[in-house]
Chain A
Amino acid sequence: MGRYWRTLRRFWGTALATQLEYQLNVVVELLAVVLSLGGSLLLLSLFFGPGRELGGWNWNQALIVQGFYTVFDGMTTAWLRPNLGAIVTYVREGTLDFVLLKPIDSQFWVSLRTFAPAGLSEVVLGLGLAGWGAHQSGVVLTPPLLVAVLLMLMVAAVILYSLWFLIAATSIWFVKTWNATEVLRAVLASGRYPLEAYPASLRLLFTLVVPVAFLTTVPAEVLLGRASLPLLALGFVLAGGFFAAARGFWLFALRHYTSASS
């Protein structure tokens, strides 16, 4: 375990060093993040005038959903895209061979190899936005509530990671998986609005097939103190199931790779 921890620190240390080679990029990306969040909020304000509601959510509550969406978008930028997006490159350039020859778990390696600090600003902004929305909605953040929200965010993170990983792992067969991750990204973008803002048929799709609702709407409901216990339990089960699926699929993909790679 200590070895994995030390490796992770080295991974991210080298990642930071690479980013510092391109300092200007960091500034530009920060600017892009602020602009895009501003755009999203403007769009959101068109749906929700002051005092108006949408599917039982008012403006302040919708801000929480938007905030959590921003957190996960930041997580995607900081963690998922740089790592899982690189699996294609490992396969195409054959450097996955080097990963497989290291005495360390290959999923650990490809999932955590690097890190893009630019995405962190989005995470912080998103948390701030959710906090602001909660404050305006009159939420009192007690320690048990905080723990519950953090747990739900972790469940959401595991689901998001597993979805990304499942798609990225298909690049062992199809070197052009990039399009698939774009589709995933588009579907996830639906998570920026509360689930109830969508027609019932789409709602079902989002909750069951691609559990987008668990990324943003459910944590927001927990924060507002109105999530039901069975829903939370379902979240844990889903997270566990998706993670197991991602793990199993990776091992299956590696078996294929080792029988036919070049």
Chain B
Amino acid sequence: MITVERLSKTYRVADKQPGLAGTLRHFLRRRQRDVFAVRDVSFEIAPGEMVGFLGANGAGKTTTLKMLCGLIYPSSGQVLVAGHQPQRRHPDFLRRITLVMGQKQQLIWDLPPMDSLRVNAAVYGIPDRVASRRIAELSDLLELGEELTRPVRKLSLGQRMKAELLAALLHEPEVLFLDEPTLGLDVNAQMRVRQFLADYNRRTGATVLLTSHYMADITALCPRVLLIHQGQLFHDGALDRLASRLAPERHVRLELKEPAPAEAFTGLGRLDSLENCEVNLRVEPSSLTRVLAEVLERFEVRDLEVNDPPIDQLIGELFRQGSL
């Protein structure tokens, strides 16, 4: 369904100092810098697959997605989506895809979502009867009701995102591109959106490519993960393999009743920081239970927390260690 071959995108940006002097200097001697947003990325996605596209901020997720939709031209490489070259934006191609962006909205701010939906129905040439049926079905799945007849500006962020999804899916696209659809939503709404996407994928067999920088989105939905870092594809495959590759250590935070010297922590993983009673350790998952048991035995512990490091930090660390 989606074939990407050695795809690259280079943005040329002007290096301009702020202010009038900067503008003048820029005018006299144009200095340009290349930003390699996406470099030599190749992958294939089969029909009906649900793939997570993971990467830190600025990794190149949005740029890749926009090239797959035909919104920006690749600098080099080949893309084929649903049998079309996206950058031609052929009407047949546009009818078969959709794009949802967490930080942009297509619904008209001052009007109820229903009005925007009716505009979309006309644009895609969907007869009213069919459109009404689809709206009823989708709003059922999305748990949207009277919200559809309330002005968009009066909806919560979660309700608005669900209405956005409805608007994006009205024409029954075969390929869904979702760019951070859960951005800024509370945990509950995030779960609702995820649940819906999983259902939708199962019911319609649509192909889904979902970007996120929340690990939880991807763990919940996508058996296959593409990880991109600084524009390059770093991992393509099952999630567990990535997780163990990325998150070999757990973060353990301790609050002790009395301060202890650094030597007291030998054999308890790697000591990250030690400040009076507050201790941060990094522990291999395999020895986590042993370490926790020993900690509780050796010290009087007031508080204890075990965390997965956030994905941004993990990826950053990984690359600092130079394990690529």
A102 to B106, CA, bound (A): 11
Q: List B contacts of A14 (CB < 8 A).
A: 108, 111, 115-116, 118-119
Of residues 73 through 87 on chain B, the ones whose CB sits less than 8 Å from some CB of chain A are 73, 87
Contacting pair B99 A97 (CB below 8 A): yes
Residues of A within 8 A of B110 (CB): 18, 21
B95 on the interface (CB 8 Å rule)?
Answer: yes
Contact with B along A2-25 (1 / 0, CB 8 A): 010011011101100110010000
B99 adjacent to A261 (CB under 8 Å): no
- A7-B120 Cα distance, complex, nearest whole Å: 8
- B94–A102 CB distance below 8 A: yes
Hey, which chain A residues are within 8 Å of B91, CB to CB?
A: 103
Q: What are the residues of chain B within 8 A of A93 when measuring CB–CB?
A: 104
Flag if A95 contacts B111 (CB, 8 Å): no
Contacts of A175 in B (CB 8 A): none
- Residues on B with beta carbons closer than 8 Å to the beta carbon of A103: 91-92, 94-95, 123-124
Is the Cβ of A258 less than 8 Å from the Cβ of B71?
A: yes
Within 8 A of B (CB), among A188-243: none
Please state if B119 and A10 are interface contacts (CB–CB under 8 Å).
yes
A98 to chain B, nearest CB (A): 4
**Interface SS of chain B:** mixed
Q: Would you call A104 an interface residue if the criterion is a C-beta within 8 Å of the partner chain's C-beta atoms?
A: yes
* Interface status of A124 (Cβ within 8 A of chain B): no
Within the assembled complex, what's the spacing in Å between the Cα atoms of A97 and B179? 13
* Interface contact B106-A98, CB-CB below 8 Å: yes
B11 at the interface (CB under 8 A from A): yes
In the bound complex, what is the Cα–Cα distance between A18 and B106 (angstroms)?
16
Of residues 58 to 74 in B, which have CB atoms within 8 Å of A's CB atoms?
A: 66, 69-73
Q: Chain B 109-144 against A: per-residue CB contact (8 Å), 1 yes, 0 no?
A: 011000110111111110000000000000000000
Chain B 168-200 against A: per-residue CB contact (8 Å), 1 yes, 0 no? 000000000000000000000000000000000
**Complex contacts, B125 vs chain A, CB 8 Å:** 3, 6
CB of B101 closer than 8 Å to a CB of A:
yes
Q: Does B89 contact A (CB under 8 A)?
A: yes
Asked if residues B95 and A97 are in contact (CB atoms below 8 Å), the reply is no
A147-174 contact mask (Cβ, 8 Å, vs B): 1 or 0:
0000000000000000000000000000
Checking A3, A10, A11, A95 against B106 with a beta-carbon cut-off of 8 angstroms, the contacting residue is A95
Question: In the complex, what residue of chain A is closest to B125 when comparing beta carbons?
Answer: A3
Q: Provided the pairs A95-B104, A102-B123, A103-B95 are in contact, do residues A258 and B111 lie with their beta carbons within 8 angstroms?
A: no
Question: Counting CB contacts under 8 A, is A100 at the interface?
Answer: yes
B105 interfacial by beta-carbon distance below 8 Å: yes
Decide yes or no: A261 and B123 within 8 Å by CB, A21-B110, A97-B104, A100-B89 being known contacts.
Answer: no
Q: Which of A7, A94, A100, A260 contacts B122 (CB 8 A)?
A: A7
A97 close to B71 (CB less than 8 A): yes
- Tell me which residues across on chain B come within 8 A of A259, comparing CB atoms: 72-73
- Beyond A95-B106, A101-B99, whether A11 also contacts B73 by CB under 8 A is no
Docked Cα-Cα span, A21 to B154, in Å, equals: 14
Interface string of A116-152 (1 = CB under 8 A from B): 0000000000000000000000000000000000000
CB-CB under 8 A from B108, the residues of chain A are 14, 18
**CB neighbours of A7 from chain B (8 A):** 119, 122-123
Contacts of B124 in A (CB 8 A): 102-103
A95 to B101 alpha-carbon distance, docked (Å): 10
Residues B12 and A261 in contact, CB atoms below 8 Å apart = no
Contact A17 B111, CB 8 Å, known A93-B104, A95-B104, A260-B12:
yes
- Does A101 lie within 8 Å of B104, measured CB to CB? no
Contact check, A258 vs B122: say whether CB atoms are below 8 A apart.
no
Asked if A98 and B73 sit within 8 Å, CB to CB, the answer is: no
Interface: B97 (CB within 8 A): yes
Bound-complex Cα distance A259 to B105 (A): 22
Residue of A nearest to B151 (CB): A21
Contact of A95 among B95, B98, B105 (CB under 8 A): B105
- Residue contact B122 to A98, C-beta cutoff 8 Å: no
Apart from A21-B151, A94-B104, A97-B101, list 5 A-B contacts with CB within 8 A: A98-B99, A101-B70, A101-B71, A101-B98, A258-B87
18 CB < 8 A contacts A-B = A6-B122, A7-B123, A9-B122, A10-B121, A10-B122, A13-B115, A14-B119, A17-B115, A98-B99, A100-B71, A101-B99, A102-B120, A103-B91, A103-B123, A103-B124, A258-B72, A261-B66, A261-B72
Q: Report B's interface with A, CB cutoff 8 A.
A: 11-12, 66, 69-73, 87, 89, 91-92, 94-95, 97-99, 101, 104-106, 108, 110-111, 115-116, 118-125, 151
Nearest first, the 5 A-B pairs at minimum CB distance are: A103-B91, A98-B106, A103-B94, A7-B122, A10-B122
